[in-house]
A = this chain, B = another copy of it.
Amino acid sequence: MTMSSLDITVEGIFTANTEGSFVSHSIKEVALEFGGIRGDRHFGVTFPADARQPMYPRGTEILNKRQISILAMEEVEKVAEELGIDHIRAEWLGANLLVKGIPELTKLPVLTRFLFPSGAGLINEGENKPCIHAGNEVQRNYPQNETLARAFVKKAMGRRGIVCSVERPEAIRLHDKIKIMLP
């Protein structure tokens, strides 16, 4: 089953390539590789297990299913609205892609495919659970509200987007139209 590609677009592409920083910054296009975006902090076909994979000893080399993170503009706007703040930037959440036209992106089933005009393909590896790091970054930008970090984690649950693997590594460009294929 394929959802219409007419109104699903890439509104932002980002990479988090600053040592020690969670925050990503905007780029105009990216040449994907197997493993994600070279230089990004989540790049790699494999990566060291962390707190999200407690079944393996910390640091064990395991398959990387968190290569590319995607945010839905509609979901982020709703979270900002409920938090009573003007906006949340995709960069603050360390996102790699910001898309428009999938209002419930986070609820898409695992294995849903995202197909791009270049032939690139991403595959949904599941919901990106909100963490306090992203919350802290939101709060840092609204320092007057001291409870924002924890409020973000709560309000963003189920709306913080997804993580994907690169299934076919080609280019993604700003304003690309995306075709969604349900599994």
Contacts and interface: CB of A to CB of B under 8 A. Distances in A.
Given A55-B181, A63-B166, 14 more contacts: A34-B46, A49-B168, A55-B113, A56-B119, A56-B121, A56-B167, A56-B168, A62-B121, A63-B167, A65-B123, A110-B110, A110-B183, A111-B125, A126-B183
A168 B111 contact: no
Looking at chain A, what size class is its interface with the partner chain? 20 to 34
B126 A62 contact: no
A38 to B, nearest CB: 16
B113 A110 contact: no
Contacts of A46: 34
Interface in A97-146: 109-111, 113, 115, 119, 121, 123, 125-126
A171 interface: no
Contacts of A111: 110, 125-126
Interface of A: 34, 45-46, 49, 55-57, 60-63, 65, 109-111, 113, 115, 119, 121, 123, 125-126, 165-168, 181, 183
A126 B125 CA distance: 12
A178 to B, nearest CB: 13
Nearest to A183: B126
Contacts of A56: 119, 121, 167-168
A46 to B, nearest CB: 6
A115 B63 contact: no
Nearest to A34: B46
A56 B168 CA distance: 8
A55 B115 contact: yes
A172 to B, nearest CB: 16
A21 B57 CA distance: 38
